[in-house]
Amino acid sequence: MRVVGRASIEEALARIDVLESIAQGFVAYSSDRAVVPPVGELVFEEPPGDVHIKYGYLRGDEFFVIKIASGYYENPKLGLPSGNGMMLLFRQRTGEPAAVLLDEGYLTDVRTAAAGALAARHLAPDPVRGIGVLGCGVQARLQAEWLRAVTDCRRISVWGRRAERIDAYREEMAARGFEVQAAADPSEVAASCNLIVTTTPATEPLLNEAAVRPGTHITAVGSDTPAKQELDPAILARADLVVADSRSQCLVRGEIAHAVRAGLLDQQRLVELGEVIAGTAAGRSSGDQITVADLTGVAVQDIQIAAAVYRALPPE
């Protein structure tokens, strides 16, 4: 069994087409070729945090994967990263452990950002005039970085709760070639951007329906537990297209779950991202549509990125 640290994992990632790997995973999931049980979850109140255990396999593949990822949102006050974790690979045929990927949560961050880029590739308007970002953390940075692959837009409007984190975000993203403006509130973000990514652990809606303009795409990333929520459910009711990374998972967690429970969204309207990627369901079909992608994080993403990293490692 190999034990692989983050530095080696990052080197291996540079040799992988992550977008293609994650896209294939979503297609496999929506084609019923993935076995993905419900998410295991621990939620902590003091201090606030959560731990997700996601696991599964693709039929006929070499491995099965168990991923443990944590998010402790007050860790930055202690000088610690908010996320951590590891991925465990086992061989399907024998159950033998193949590798422990001590990625410190990095692979989860990357596969989440890659999913956001895939959603934008198929659902964002053309052209993207402005990228709106709610939040200033790791995903707020990575989502914008990975959008480079699908849009030429480099203008960001960002909103966050703390001025010092907004300033740090602006400085870091400016160094990466983005023009960043701070917004006073989420509605101001929506007023100037037609591609919005929400990346916070909020438990009450940040963005209201009245603020969203026709022609906007929203990728909702932060709401990955039943309690979290970033969007007014009326946004999903108004949207022309609502896309789930997983229908079954989004009915118990994420923005879709809140809208369905409120009686504002018929679950029969839902399509999956894998169906859109495969072309078995339509993506954006006109410039004035409002589209929403609810990304709660599916184990198939972990399966794909973990296996790809393992295969890209140099021989021992």
The residues carrying an active-site annotation are 67
From the list 115, 126, 118, 119, the residue with the least C-alpha distance to 153 is: 126
**Mapping DSSP to helix (H, G, I), strand (E, B) and coil, where does residue 239 land?**
coil
Q: Give the Cα separation of 112 and 229 in Å (integer).
A: 17
Q: Which residues, including other chains, have CB under 8 Å from residue 223's CB and lie 6 or more apart?
A: 198, 202, 229, 230, 231, 253, 254, 255, 258, 294, 296
Apex 18 CA angle, 9 and 230, nearest 5:
100
The token duo for 87 is: 């991925």
Pairing of strands 34-35, 63-72: unpaired
* DSSP-assigned states of every residue in 159-209: E-S-HHHHHHHHHHHHHTT-EEEE-SSHHHHHHH-SEEEE----SS-SB-G
CB 204 within 8 A of CB 229: yes
Q: Give the Cα separation of 250 and 181 in Å (integer).
A: 32
Q: Give the Cα separation of 262 and 79 in Å (integer).
A: 39
Q: Give the Cα separation of 264 and 234 in Å (integer).
A: 7
